[in-house]
Amino acid sequence: MASFFPAALENLIDSFASLPGIGRKSAQRLAFHILSLSDEDAEHFADTIREAKKKIHTCPVCQNLTDGELCPICSSPNRDRNTICVVSEPRDVLSIERSREYRGLYHVLHGALSPMNHIGPDDLRIRELLQRAAGEDVEEIILATNPDTEGDATAMYIARLLRPFGMKVTRLGFGVPVGSNLEYADDATMLKALEGRREM
C-alpha cells in the first residue's frame, strides 16, 4: 500500500495514524485535508505543535499544564489555599472548574496507578502531592480520580499515604448523574448512589 502514495504523504499519514484513536483510514482523510490547506494554514498547524511543545510545561506547584511560571489557578489570589482537589489528568481540572462550585487548588497526578500498564506511584506526581500536604496549610484533600478500578485504587493508595498528615481526606461523591434516567443507570452506579444516599 505504502508505494501507492508518495513518501512525504505516507509520512504524514503515519504521523496522524500514530495518534490515539486515529485509524489508518482516518489518518489518510486527515492527511489529504492537510494537503488541501493553504500553505499558511498548514504552516500554522505545524507551528502550533512546535509552540505548544516549547511553551507548555507543568506548574511546579499543582503539576497542571501551564505556559506561565505558575498556573493561573495556583497564582490566583482568590482561591481557597486550604483545599486541594487531586485529579488524574489536566482535562479533569477543566471538568471540575466548569461546575463553578470548587474554589480550592488542584493537584494533577498525570495518570492513575495501573499495574497492567506498568504505571506505579513513581510514574505519577504523588511525591509532589505529599510535599504540598507536608508544607502548605492544607485542611482538606479531595480525591477526584476517575470512578473506575484504577482511579479508585489510586485514590485509596493516596488516602493511605495522607493519613499520617491528619488532614481531612475525601473522595468525590458518586451516584446517578443529574438529569439522567434511573432506568439507564448501571448496577455499579446505582450501588454507589445507594451507598451515598443522604437524609432529607
Residues 78-117, mask of contacts with a copy of itself (x by CB under 8 A): -----------xxx-xx--xx-------------------
Q: What are phi and psi of 168, to 5 degrees?
A: -70, 125
d(CA 27, CA 138): 47
Nearest CA to 59 out of 68, 48, 51, 50 is that of 68
Question: 11: helix, coil or strand?
Answer: helix
Binding-residue total with a copy of itself (CB under 8 A):
56
- Candidates 23, 67, 103, 131; binder of a copy of itself (CB under 8 A) is 67
**Residue type (1 letter), 190:** M
Binding of residue 70 to a copy of itself (CB under 8 A): no
Q: What are phi and psi of 156, to 5 degrees?
A: -65, -40
Q: Which of these segments, 38-46, 125-133, 156-164, 186-194, binds a copy of itself (CB under 8 A)? A: 38-46
Binding of residue 27 to a copy of itself (CB under 8 A): no
d(CA 95, CA 16): 27
Binding of residue 118 to a copy of itself (CB under 8 A): no
Which residues contact a copy of itself (rule: CB under 8 A)? 1, 3-9, 11-12, 14-15, 18-22, 26, 28-35, 37, 39, 42-56, 65-68, 71-72, 89-91, 93-94, 97-98
